[in-house]
Structure 1
């Protein structure tokens, strides 16, 4: 008698990603109500990834949070908020992508809480350091340049990352 393994992702990382998405949505929504729908869509996509194991929904989570950060930046949100929103989008996507991979390899029933905790701590740490360094570079090299320049710089970085990943 064989037992089939449930290949859905573990819930812990998915819930952590939903929390990150909701924090980003709240932060971005304080400065632009137009960014809030993107955050809501990101939370729905994160829940879809968590409960159905859809890798595309994990990518959509990051994309929606990124778009919310871009909208808030274009509409005048402070630079630190935009950078935090973009960093949060990458962290949420990474947490969900890792959860889907764990689900595919080990299944939902496996005890992966320690691995998820270590991955989440590393992801948040790297996201925070990169965001802080990006903000610091912007402050040093800003020189009165408009926020739109930062938005297009971030779009270029995402496009480059996307091309290199393919």
Structure 2
């Protein structure tokens, strides 16, 4: 599809940065870090081609790496941070593709993407801080994989609402 608009590099930078953060956060569990690197590659390909499908594959692989890291006894704080980064990579990537499709050559779309990124990061941070707080108050030794499965269910609910 040659007529498909691809996002400018500076509008995809936040999504790529979030995907790279997943690699850094999951790297204490080596296999999870390697899987996350594969996800970054797919995210970059999806964004450079303007393909939502490839972007979705990339963030799905990255979320799988977060689950593997959680099962590999990654610290709870890193699991939450990596989960938030996966959601931001997906959301900001989708937004960059949408802005490129809607504005095409008429505009670069940097401002709406920056506002969206700031808002999504703020809301995501508040939500994940709430999850962490509840986990600390009510968890009392609950295993991290249980939290990872809870987060996975939350991501599926959010993804289902977006479709």
Common fold: TM-score over 0.5: yes
Structure 1 residue runs without a partner (length 5+): none
Q: Which has the higher contact order (CA 8 A, sep 6+)?
A: 1
Asked if 1:140 corresponds to 2:137, the answer is yes
Check conservation: 1:7, 1:106, Cα contact below 8 A: no
Measure how far apart 1:165 and its partner are: 3.6
CA RMSD of aligned residues (A): 1.9
TM normalised by structure 2 equals: 0.90
SS in 1 for 2:107: coil
Check conservation: 2:100, 2:109, Cα contact below 8 A: no
The whole-number CA distance in structure 2 between the counterparts of 1:20 and 1:164 is 22
SS in 1 for 2:108: coil
Measure how far apart 1:153 and its partner are: 1.1
- Aligned match of 2:156: 159
- Aligned match of 2:86: 89
Asked if 1:15 corresponds to 2:18, the answer is no
- Aligned match of 1:149: 146
Deviates more, 1:132-141 or 1:54-63: 54-63
TM normalised by structure 1 equals: 0.88
Matched positions, count: 162
The whole-number CA distance in structure 2 between the counterparts of 1:117 and 1:82 is 25
Deviates more, 1:153-162 or 1:142-151: 153-162
The whole-number CA distance in structure 1 between the counterparts of 2:25 and 2:149 is 21
Check conservation: 1:13, 1:99, Cα contact below 8 A: yes
Over 3 Å counting, the alpha-carbon distance change for 1:14 and 1:161 in structure 2 is same
Structure 2 residue runs without a partner (length 5+): none
Measure how far apart 1:108 and its partner are: 5.2
